[in-house]
A = this chain, B = another copy of it.
Amino acid sequence: LKSAQDHPNKIKQKSHAPSPNKISKRIAVAMGADPADLVIKNVSWLDVFNGLWHVSDVAFFDGVIVGVGEQYDGRSVMNGSGLFLVPGFIDSHVHIESSMMTPHRFQEVVLPRGTTTAIWDPHEIANVKGLPGIDWALKEAATCTMDIFVMIPSCVPSTEAGMGLETSGAVLKAQDLEIYRNRDGVLGLAEMMNWPGLVNGNSEVIKKLHDFQGMVRDGHCPELSGKALNAYAAAGIHSCHESTTLGEAQEKLSKGIHVLVREGSCAKDASALLPLVTQRSAAQIGFCSDDRNPLDIEESGHIDCIVNMALRGGHDPIEVFRSASFAAAKIYGLNDRGAIAPGYLADVVLLKQDGNWKKGCEVVKVWKNGAEIDAQSFLRSPRESAPFLGRNINIPKNLLSTADLALKSSREGGVECRVIGVRPGQIVTDDVKARLACKDGLVQNDLAQDIIKIAVFERHHATGNHGVALVQGFGIKSGAIATSINHDCHNLIVTGSSDESMLWALQELLNIDGGIVVVSDDGRIERIKLSIGGLMTADAPKEISASLRRLKSLARSLGCVLDEPFLQLSFLALPVIPTLKITDRGLVDGRSFKITDVVHGAQN
């Protein structure tokens, strides 16, 4: 049996469109006249249509399932007795960039965990690189072993460019996007985060929805309800992965907005939403990871993580596995997958459990297009390097100085300041009032109050834009952290105990052209270079994990008290989330959507 990943760079065939000759061969194998490629004998397989388990042989040929319910001979045979076969999992909404891995590397870690298809919104690389970023995403996706479909980012940048709240690498208008409608591998328009624009009839938003009619148009509407949710649905939005309560999710689903149950690294909704999955609704509800970091994928899994949460929570495995595969296939119109039945892609996961689904299950083997996934072979085979997308940071290095980090005030002594209050494990922040010392016209850090500086530097267009503010909650007592990952504009963000350490971390970030850097006051440094857009690397997943562990360890030694210092830092620049955020334009009040002063009565 030839391994699918032998040719990782070959454009995958449309397996749902076999030639007449291939159809005839499939028929001959199904009839038992010719041997199958592989037969799994006596396995319990899930019939997603009736919602039943059956025990029989399952035969693969030519990348598809050709026989169930009967005995078959195969060139390769394995005993499936006591094991369970379910359709390959589908990640119904993911920003692969958040894994820091290229799609080729991402598949190395998620395919062995049973995810055979992902629906990718390449929103982050599109913010940084614009249309070439989307083109790169399509090219990468097309050459993966797993099926990665692309949704075209609808909101680049996240706030309307005219509001002047932030500077993104690109501004994508409706007319830029419509040409992607007919590109291979594109399923529709990605999450329409600008629901205020939609319900107010913003013409750009309407044009984007119009241009992608007949395709899936994903939503993103946390807490939207009532008439505004009706308007959102009436405009054609078909899904949402932002529900956080059961009632919110049920209302969305009742209005035809398919619920995608998310378990990301920051946003963890599965526990709250899984009760929505019933015998009636399971085929209408998908699972997704959205933003999941490499350590979480390595340690607790991908879609299999949600599957196991559901099983351990006592959900019927039939409903769980229907949601994990069949539902997402139906929601995205992928009619060639999501079921174990003749003619369907042989994208399947073989599972074992310990006599009781409530203990969860374990992936034994995974097949994609009928080829067994061998996690080790990915390591042995050379990967194609991701094509170069040019430099990531466009800031003249010698222009940065500690002067750029100054927070000025004409009032000597104590000044009243507005400080970004970080909440551990959340992306919402508090609007904290604090009194800080001011010396020689400069507001001072206050480590006793855990208040330090935070700054964002525009990195795409050499505008020199930069914003400086204050943050409470990191716990950093020495050194600094800087990264080029921060949602959604992905400028450079830095926080630290002193202007000098912040400057060093920034300069090191410039040296590696994007990534994550942690420096200590005693001269220690850890870094990961993210050469693709300052967001991703083609390095091996194990190396990424090792680097991240070293970075987190050093951050902890600086005094950092957050479990996810880099993720939390990366969301402090997202102005659409309340309450206080920082962008390259300054401190943003996320309720009024206005730039605001850090220092009360300041003369910055």
Could you list which residues of chain A lie within 8 angstroms of chain B, going by C-beta atoms? 16-20, 23-24, 26-32, 47, 49-52, 54, 64-70, 198-199, 201, 203, 206-207, 209-210, 213-214, 226-228, 230-237, 250-251, 253-256, 258, 276, 278-284, 318, 322, 330, 333, 335, 339, 341-344
Q: A16-B213, A23-B236, A30-B231 are in contact. Are A254 and B68 (CB under 8 A)?
A: yes
Q: Which residues of B contact A70 (CB under 8 A)?
A: 226-227, 230
Task: Give Cα distance in the complex from A47 to B280, angstroms.
Answer: 11
Q: Which residues of B contact A253 (CB under 8 A)?
A: 47, 49-50
Interface pair B318/A280, CB less than 8 Å apart:
yes
Task: Give Cα distance in the complex from A24 to B207, angstroms.
Answer: 10
Task: Give Cα distance in the complex from A16 to B232, angstroms.
Answer: 15
Q: Which residues of B contact A67 (CB under 8 A)?
A: 227, 230, 234
Task: Give Cα distance in the complex from A237 to B24, angstroms.
Answer: 14
Task: Give Cα distance in the complex from A203 to B27, angstroms.
Answer: 12
Task: Give Cα distance in the complex from A318 to B254, angstroms.
Answer: 14
Q: Which residues of B contact A226 (CB under 8 A)?
A: 69-70
| 6 smallest beta-carbon distances between A and B, as pairs | A51-B280, A256-B341, A233-B342, A30-B231, A234-B342, A279-B279
* 10 further contact pairs, Cβ within 8 A, besides A49-B256, A236-B343: A20-B206, A26-B231, A27-B206, A27-B231, A30-B235, A31-B227, A47-B253, A51-B280, A230-B342, A255-B341
Interface pair B342/A231, CB less than 8 Å apart:
yes
Copies of this chain assembled into the complex: 2
Q: Which residues of B contact A279 (CB under 8 A)?
A: 278-280
Q: A49-B284, A230-B342 are in contact. Are A23 and B254 (CB under 8 A)?
A: no
Question: Which partner residue on chain B sits nearest A71 by CB separation?
Answer: B227
Q: A67-B230, A203-B20, A227-B31 are in contact. Are A342 and B278 (CB under 8 A)?
A: no
Question: Which partner residue on chain B sits nearest A285 by CB separation?
Answer: B49
Task: Give Cα distance in the complex from A47 to B32, angstroms.
Answer: 44
Task: Give Cα distance in the complex from A26 to B234, angstroms.
Answer: 7
CB-contact partner of A31 in B199, B207, B335, under 8 A: B199
Q: Which residues of B contact A276 (CB under 8 A)?
A: 50
Nearest CB of chain B from residue A221's CB, rounded to whole Å: 13
Q: Which residues of B contact A322 (CB under 8 A)?
A: 280
Task: Give Cα distance in the complex from A47 to B278, angstroms.
Answer: 14
Q: Which residues of B contact A333 (CB under 8 A)?
A: 333, 335
Interface pair B343/A233, CB less than 8 Å apart:
yes
Question: Which partner residue on chain B sits nearest A209 by CB separation?
Answer: B23
Interface pair A254/B27, CB less than 8 Å apart:
no
Interface pair B17/A343, CB less than 8 Å apart:
no
Q: Which residues of B contact A339 (CB under 8 A)?
A: 256
Nearest CB of chain B from residue A376's CB, rounded to whole Å: 32
Q: Which residues of B contact A233 (CB under 8 A)?
A: 30, 341-343
Q: Which residues of B contact A207 (CB under 8 A)?
A: 20
Offer 8 A-B interface pairs, CB within 8 angstroms, sorted by A: A16-B213, A16-B214, A23-B206, A49-B253, A70-B226, A254-B341, A279-B280, A280-B280
Nearest CB of chain B from residue A212's CB, rounded to whole Å: 11
Task: Give Cα distance in the complex from A28 to B287, angstroms.
Answer: 32
Interface pair B66/A230, CB less than 8 Å apart:
yes
